[in-house]
Amino acid sequence: MSQVAIVGVGQTPYRRSHPEKSSRELIWWAAKEALNDAGLGIDAIDVIIAGVAPDALAGEVSVERSGMMGIGKPFIRVNTGGVTGSSAVFAGASYIKAGRAKAVLVFALERMGQASSSQQVFNTIFDPVYEKDFPLTTITMAALRASMLMRLYGYAPRHWAEIAARNAQAARKNPLAHLHNDITPEDVLKSPLLAWPIHRYEACPMSEGACALVLVDKSLVGNRKPAWIQGAASTSDSYAMGDRIRRKGATLVDLLSLSMSAKRAYAEAGVTKPVKEIRVAELYSAFSSAEAMAYPALGFCESADGPRFVEAQATDKSLPVFNPSGGPQGANPVSATAMVRIAEAALQVRQMAGARQVDGVERAVATGQGGATQFSTVCVVGNKPNT
Amino acid sequence: MSDVELVSIPGLWAFNYNYFAGANASRFFNELKVNRRIMGTRCPSCERVLVPARGFCDACMEYTTDWKAVGPEGTLETFTIVATQFPGLPKPPLVMAYVTLDGADTALINLVYGMDLSDIDAAAQKLNKLPRVTTRFVDDPKGRITDFSFQLL
């Protein structure tokens, strides 16, 4: 199979809204920047993959129409909820791995700034027969998991607050992040309670913006600056959260789909000791509890050691750096968020991350979480191709 | 372009729909309305009793077979206490939880009543100890998932 490299990254800033840009202009901004970074024109692109999650967030049906670029290319839209962005990347990479394309442009757009209430829209993503009558939203869905983590593994409110404050501080170094708030764990705990145990400053913002990547076959890398996709895996699970609560082997908070994706991506990338071999992790964690669930799934610690792992991050500098971009708690353009994780991981291994650059990154991991965690993706990128 | 007056055009989605529950969920809803009981269906492969009832087990890719009444009591597994009003959603504070009813292998979501919510942190401590609950039906069931809720025992 061919090897795939990311040679172009384009991102708009992520903001509450971009009233100065139409949907087309947001996509075009990110796509043009990615092509410029890659040193390629649109004629060099064989395939375009568009990632846009629920239309209702933007209030525009078939919003992929805003992403037409060039003429005469296969074009696919992907929607897998939160993993829309990484699914788009993997779809593009599959074309190259299969030898059906040499260069693919993938983009993801989030236009939820046009919605006056995202949580009202998010309620409609749940099952209309058994679930939609309840106040299920992305926030309450995360809260139902957080309380289970507290019961099973001993997480306390201060752990959620510490993760949120660390990501907030990291976001201040990222000019593209939506929030740049100077907040402490105490500030998080004092902010209004949304749905126990989630406080306002722990919840991701609703952000809009676009992200684009140019993926190429090894033969096109030349003297371009690559982030090699060393391992990539996308895995599904049952939808019903209630079915997973007592499931033997992997409960709701064990993130079966993420741990399966990690095992497969690590095997492809040759990662055997993730805590030593991965320097940066860009996690799809719109809430602190989502970050905590990812640690054991990605092999960074045992589930029961999660609370201590959070505490150790403040002092043990040998541990991987989590979300140097600020992660989704700093900006959450939902359709694009999983692609942003890969983009940020690629910038880190290409040493192009500006003020948020971590020293000595040879390998980074990016995750995606979608739906009621029935979709998970793991992408390992590095500064060398697989041997 | 920086001095241009930016235009935004108002939009509203107000489409009407009728969501088809299908024969299995319809039977589940009829059981709520007529017999005031909660039914699950068994997967012949993994042998789990799936609640709420459905026509197939998505993990095993098998049709479910026998129907079985579960509850009315059960164990509250995990919960949240909604504390902030969001547009279009019910008025807080309220407790929403997954409960595994006795005889079921999966949990179902509904609202929980019977908690003193004047101190939310104290209520949360109590709810995070796997408390027992029972099912309470409304006076006039309509054949909807909202015909019942859970009551702390």
Domain residue limits at B85: 22-152
- Residue A46 forms part of a structural domain: yes
Chain B: give the shortest CA distance to residue A223, in Å.
Answer: 37
pLDDT over threshold 80, residue B41: yes
- Residue B3 forms part of a structural domain: no
pLDDT over threshold 80, residue A343: yes
> Which residues of chain B have a CB within 8 Å of the CB of A161?
none
A138 vs A33, higher pLDDT: A33
- Residue B8 forms part of a structural domain: no
pLDDT over threshold 70, residue A75: yes
- Residue B16 forms part of a structural domain: no
pLDDT at A95: 98
pLDDT at A52: 93
pLDDT at A192: 97
Distances (CA, A) of A212 to A34, A333, A339, A379: 6, 13, 8, 16
> Which residues of chain B have a CB within 8 Å of the CB of A200?
84
How many folded domains does chain A comprise? 1
How many folded domains does chain B comprise? 1
Residue numbers of B between 14 and 53 with CB closer than 8 Å to A: 17, 19, 21-22, 25, 48, 50-52
Q: How far apart are CA A28 and CA A210, in angstroms?
A: 9
Q: Do B13 and A59 touch (CB under 8 A)?
A: yes
pLDDT at A126: 85
pLDDT at A119: 72
Residue numbers of B between 51 and 70 with CB closer than 8 Å to A: 51-52, 58-59
Q: How far apart are CA A361 and CA A374, in angstroms?
A: 30
pLDDT tens readout for residues A83-112:
999 999 999 999 999 999 999 999 999 999
pLDDT category of residue A387 using cuts at 50, 70 and 90: confident
pLDDT category of residue B1 using cuts at 50, 70 and 90: low
Average pLDDT over residues A198-223: 97
Taking the C-alpha atoms of A143, A146, A148 and A149 in order, what is their torsion angle to the nearest 10 degrees? 180
- Residue B99 forms part of a structural domain: yes
Token pair 């792992």 is found at A309
Q: How far apart are CA A369 and CA A302, in angstroms?
A: 20
Say which of A117, A143, A151 has its CB closest to residue B80.
A143
Chain A: give the shortest CA distance to residue B108, in Å.
Answer: 5
Smallest CA–CA distance from A239 into chain B, residue: B58
Token pair 């994780």 is found at A341
Whether the CB of B8 is below 8 Å from some CB of chain A: the reply is yes
- Residue A131 forms part of a structural domain: no
Q: Do B81 and A195 touch (CB under 8 A)?
A: yes
Smallest CA–CA distance from B18 into chain A, residue: A128
Q: Are B35 and B67 in contact (CB under 8 A)?
A: no
Smallest CA–CA distance from A140 into chain B, residue: B80
> Which residues of chain B have a CB within 8 Å of the CB of A241?
98, 107, 109
Average pLDDT over residues A358-384: 96
- HEC secondary structure over A338-378: HHHHHHHHHHHHCCCCHHHCCCCCCEEEEEEEECCCCEEEE
- Predicted TM-score (pTM) of the model is 0.96
pLDDT at A256: 96
- Residue A294 forms part of a structural domain: no
Domain residue limits at A40: 4-116+207-215
- Picking from A3-12, A54-63, A139-148, A207-216, which range would have the lowest pLDDT averaged per residue? A54-63
ipTM of the complex: 0.91
Q: Do A137 and B22 touch (CB under 8 A)?
A: no
pLDDT at B14: 84
Q: Determine which of B80, B89, B95, B96 to mutate to test the interface with A (most A C-beta atoms within 10 Å).
A: B80
pLDDT category of residue A115 using cuts at 50, 70 and 90: confident
Whether the CB of A61 is below 8 Å from some CB of chain B: the reply is no
Q: Do B83 and A238 touch (CB under 8 A)?
A: no
Q: How far apart are CA A340 and CA A213, in angstroms?
A: 9
- Picking from A96-100, A141-145, A218-222, B3-7, which range would have the lowest pLDDT averaged per residue? B3-7
Q: How far apart are CA B33 and CA B144, in angstroms?
A: 8
Q: Do A196 and B83 touch (CB under 8 A)?
A: yes
Q: Do B88 and A241 touch (CB under 8 A)?
A: no
B36-50 per-residue burial string, b: 16 or more CB within 10 A, e: under 16:
eebbbbbbeeeebbb
Per the prediction, chain A carries an average pLDDT of 96
Burial of A221 (0-12, 13-18, 19+ CB in 10 A): middle
Token pair 């990605």 is found at A298
Q: How far apart are CA A27 and CA A67, in angstroms?
A: 6
- The residue among A297, A202, A218, A210 whose CA lies nearest residue A253 is A297
For residue A83, the domain's CATH number is: 3.40.47.10
Average pLDDT over residues A300-311: 97
pLDDT at A167: 98
pLDDT over threshold 90, residue A246: yes
pLDDT tens readout for residues A309-342:
999 998 999 999 999 999 999 999 999 999 999 9
- Residue B1 forms part of a structural domain: no
Q: How far apart are CA A113 and CA A90, in angstroms?
A: 27
pLDDT tens readout for residues B98-130:
999 999 999 999 999 999 999 999 999 999 999
Residue numbers of A between 229 and 268 with CB closer than 8 Å to B: 238-243, 245-246, 252
Whether the CB of B108 is below 8 Å from some CB of chain A: the reply is yes
pLDDT over threshold 80, residue A303: yes
Burial of A280 (0-12, 13-18, 19+ CB in 10 A): buried
B49 bridge partner residues: B42
- The residue among B128, B77, B51 whose CA lies nearest residue A252 is B77
Say which of B25, B48, B130 has its CB closest to residue A130.
B25
CA–centroid distance for B65 within its chain: 23
> Which residues of chain A have a CB within 8 Å of the CB of B58?
238-240
Say which of A116, A137, A194 has its CB closest to residue B83.
A194
Give start and end residues of each alpha helix (H) in chain B.
Answer: 22-35, 120-127
Q: Do A245 and B100 touch (CB under 8 A)?
A: yes
pLDDT category of residue A63 using cuts at 50, 70 and 90: confident
pLDDT at A221: 97
pLDDT tens readout for residues B65-100:
999 999 999 999 999 999 998 877 788 999 999 999
